[in-house]
Chains A and B, each alone.
Chain A
Amino acid sequence: MRVEVQPKNQRELEGEQAAPSIIGLVSRLTGFREFMILAIVVAACIVMWVIAPIFMTFANWSALLLQVSLECIVAIGMTILLVSGGFDLSVGSTFGLAGAVTAMAIVSGVPEVIALLLGLATGTVIGLVNGFIIARIGINPFVTTLAMMSMVRGLLLVITRGRNIAGLPEAFGVLGQGNLFGIQNPIWISLLLVLIGDIFLRKSRFFRQNYYLGGNERAAALSGIKVERLKIFNYALTGALAAFSGILMTARLGAASVTAGTGLELKVITAVIIGGASLKGGEGTILGSFLGSLLMGILVGALTILGVDVYWNSSIIGATLLLAVLIDTLGRYRVKRSG
């Protein structure tokens, strides 16, 4: 038996440490979900460039990125949640409520910085409540955040009496409308947060706990990860990011809308899953989620430029999500079969 086992190891080893040839590099890169999406993004851009040169203009990209940027900020939190095996449906409502709270505070004379902090606090508290119910009481994230989504949206309607809040001062608008080197502030802020988030989730030991937690919760607890605390932190962070994004939206529009953020949760989850996260936990990166959001943005932008009826958008995004997951599943199936 010994004789048989040894050479088998040897073969596996050779397969594992493929020579650093170009083919090896390509096959390693294609193993990265980010690389695959990046390739699709680049391919889509080139195709669009050829058939509709207007797509590659500064103005179009500036509009496109602005569209994507607010979503990306929420996607940072959602990625961390999905990696840790969690899930949050209430981000859209939180986005709306935080924008309205900040706007109402400013309109009633509260200094802008304080108003902004009030908005952030609103999101953080919603996240803390989600986290507490899920981690301490043990109710499942789907049910908890579904209920929270509804409650928060209701609260928003109650405090605004269903009316939009306009008439915000210009100084506050700068946050959302100003620009640096011709690129709007929300884009800069979003890129910066994505960059920081990606590095931290990839490299820092604290955030990497989420991969252990999402991959094997029992094992994580046995090795001393404070599972409850980490979960609560994740939901609070996600709430805060959703709130911040909502405040940026209010600043950009100069007004808070009671319907702001409706359906945002599903858009964000779609982007995060296209980006390589799994509802089972343990997988996903913020860079992937960013690229997922970008891909969806490009898709919608391209359809508009090509003159496709906007009513098709939702169907096409749904099909993209299904396709991404399908490719992933088939890939896994192949690996399992051969291995």
Chain B
Amino acid sequence: MSAENILELRRITKDFPGVRAVNQVDFDLRYGEVHGLIGENGAGKSTLINILGGVLQPDAGEIVLEGAPIQFAGPADAACKGIAVVFQELSLVPTLSLAENIFFNRQPITPIGFVSASRLNSSAQQLLSLFKLQINPATPVKNLSMGYRQIIEVLKAISLRPKILILDEPTSSLGAAEIDQLFLNIGRLKSQGVSFVYISHHLPEIFRVADRVTVLRDGRNVGTFTISRVDEESLVKRMVGRELTNMYGEAGNVIGDYYFHFERHDGGAEPAPAIQLDLRHGEILGIAGLIGSGRSELAMEMVGITPNRRSVIVLNGQRFSFRHPAEAIKEGVLYLTEDRKELGLYLSMSVRDNCVAPTLPAYASAIGFLSERKINAAADIARQRFNIATPSVRKPVGQLSGGNQQKVLLAMWTNARPKVLVVDEPTKGVDVGAKSEIYRLLRELAGSGIGIIMISSELQEILGMSDRIRVMRDGRFVAEFNRQDATEEKLILAATGFGQAH
């Protein structure tokens, strides 16, 4: 073991039923370095950090911490030995104060064993000041925004005074100012000798914060690089294992006439609608904007999830004002939620049952019983057409990867004969390979004459896929671009309303 390494993993292997999640991985972490860890979903990042955090035990291989081989009995043991993990899914208790969440089951106690509220709150206050946050430590976590919660999660890990801090996508809910604070703190702790493993899908962040970066693919370490000696392109190439020449595909769709119109009058004397939108056959209309700019709200209003009396849809010359999603579905105006796990799919049910869920009556016989034969046939067709990777259509959707879940969601709504498809963050949490397939499917649907409204926070995706782009800010459209005129800078400018892009 090299003296400059605090931690070394040697040929770590971990198997799950049917899959080798981590395969003979070597990995080393130096004192006081930030080591980026990147890879597609399913590349083995989560498994690896679960092993480091003591949540999982490796099937083979060796963990060497500060020169001595070591085994973790569990997460608490790993924390004791100086390894703290900030997991991606938040692990806070909403009903408890933020101070009690930071000192999760480690609250300072008085000599008679009772929790000392004053010491608890003052210690929490000290930690909050690291991020220049002035919140009352007694505030229950349920009253805090997602961004604050993510910071509390980081503070909880810092409060353990770890030697190694593992951060899994720590910035997913943070704003620019909060990210700056996070990186400032990482720098400060680094200078005190703390080592970091930093996982992110967001390559610019890796370049900003990491000293070295390791790429995982299919459970293997496919390379560790000093950050100054690599560029984004070569990392992506390593991640996907092939060159993605044009993952968005070629726009082969023929754009037809306008056939869909939405508008909302906010009342008052103004005759002009407060917001309106038009869509043509075969067109992909990208809607860009920051999170919270009102894009999903607009979509949900269109399809009657949150009905608004003042909004009107004109589809092929017919006027509608949907009061309920069922009415929109009947007319073929469909919305694919960004939250597929909570709102989109029946996770415990099979691929087959999900595929036919919105269109169940179509599989009924004359007397109203469902036909197994018809359902199976439809599910098999969907599986082939959407290239859903599952050993059987009877497998529960919850056990598929994110990309395949998204394909099931797409399949179930395509079955419902859409005329207009509104897709909200269609590739959220989907790896690069599945992404390009989803793009191909969207293009195919547009090619058949369906108009697609694509809401996305990924500018690359908006730019790569859209025929036309509209930008939302504070619930209004603030800009419109054609494919050839749009650039990343212009979109950011319009979305933030500031004179500068960053």
Contact = CB atoms under 8 A, between A and B. Distances in A.
Interface of A: 1-3, 5-6, 9, 12-13, 16-17, 199, 203-206, 208-209, 211-212, 215-216, 218-225, 282-283, 335, 339
B113 interface: yes
B177 A5 contact: yes
Given A16-B139, A212-B96, A218 B91 contact: yes
Contact of A12 (B55, B114, B135, B175): B135
Given A5-B177, A224-B75, A211 B139 contact: no
Contact of B94 (A199, A208, A282): A282
Contact of B76 (A216, A219, A224, A339): A224
B384 interface: no
Contacts of B100: 208, 211
Nearest to B136: A16
The 5 closest A-B pairs by CB, nearest first: A224-B76, A215-B93, A219-B91, A203-B114, A282-B95
B92 A1 contact: no
Nearest to B76: A224
A222 B91 CA distance: 9
Given A13-B134, A16-B135, A216-B93, A223 B177 contact: no
A3 B498 CA distance: 10
A219 B76 CA distance: 11
25 contacts: A1-B498, A2-B177, A5-B178, A12-B135, A16-B136, A17-B136, A203-B115, A204-B115, A205-B109, A205-B113, A208-B100, A209-B105, A211-B95, A216-B94, A219-B91, A219-B92, A220-B105, A222-B55, A222-B75, A223-B104, A223-B105, A224-B76, A224-B77, A224-B105, A335-B143
B74 A219 contact: no
Which of B95, B115, B139 is most buried by chain A, counting CB atoms within 10 A of its CB?
B95
A12 B496 CA distance: 21
Nearest to A211: B96
Given A1-B496, A205-B113, 8 more contacts: A9-B133, A17-B134, A206-B113, A220-B105, A222-B91, A224-B75, A282-B93, A339-B143
Contacts of B176: 1-2, 5
A13 B92 contact: no
Nearest to A332: B142
A314 to B, nearest CB: 31
Nearest to B75: A222
A25 B353 CA distance: 54
A13 B178 CA distance: 16
B100 to A, nearest CB: 8
Nearest to B113: A204
B107 interface: yes
Contacts of A223: 75-76, 79, 91, 104-105
A209 to B, nearest CB: 6
B74 A224 contact: yes
A220 B177 CA distance: 31
B241 to A, nearest CB: 33
Contacts of A6: 177
Interface in B135-160: 135-136, 139, 143
Interface string B93-132: 1111000100011010100011100000000000000000
A225 B135 contact: no
Which of A1, A17, A220, A335 is most buried by chain B, counting CB atoms within 10 A of its CB?
A1
Contacts of B496: 1
A1 to B, nearest CB: 5
A16 B55 CA distance: 36
A13 B139 CA distance: 11
Given A16-B136, A220-B105, A224-B76, A208 B91 contact: no
Contacts of B96: 211-212, 215, 282
Contacts of A205: 105, 107, 109, 113-115
A211 B109 CA distance: 17
Nearest to B140: A31
A224 B78 CA distance: 10
Contacts of B75: 221-224
A167 B93 CA distance: 52
A216 B115 CA distance: 20
A216 B92 contact: yes
A184 B132 CA distance: 56
A6 B177 CA distance: 8
A225 to B, nearest CB: 6
A1 B175 contact: yes
A284 to B, nearest CB: 9
Nearest to A225: B105
Nearest to B89: A218
Interface string B162-189: 0000000000000111101000000000
Nearest to A335: B143
Contacts of B498: 1, 3
A222 B77 CA distance: 10
A277 to B, nearest CB: 11
A335 B55 CA distance: 36
A216 B156 CA distance: 15
Contacts of B77: 224
A288 to B, nearest CB: 13
A88 B114 CA distance: 27
B124 to A, nearest CB: 14
Contacts of A216: 91-94
Interface in B65-100: 74-77, 79, 87, 91-96, 100
A16 B92 CA distance: 20
B20 to A, nearest CB: 24
Contacts of A220: 105
A9 B147 CA distance: 11
Contacts of B135: 12-13, 16
A216 B96 CA distance: 11
Given A203-B114, A224-B74, A212 B177 contact: no
A31 to B, nearest CB: 9
Contacts of A222: 55, 75, 87, 91
Contacts of A12: 135
A339 to B, nearest CB: 7
B462 to A, nearest CB: 19
Nearest to A224: B76
Contacts of B94: 215-216, 282
A222 B166 CA distance: 14
A225 B135 CA distance: 27
Nearest to A199: B114
A204 to B, nearest CB: 6
Which of A17, A208, A222, A223 is most buried by chain B, counting CB atoms within 10 A of its CB?
A222
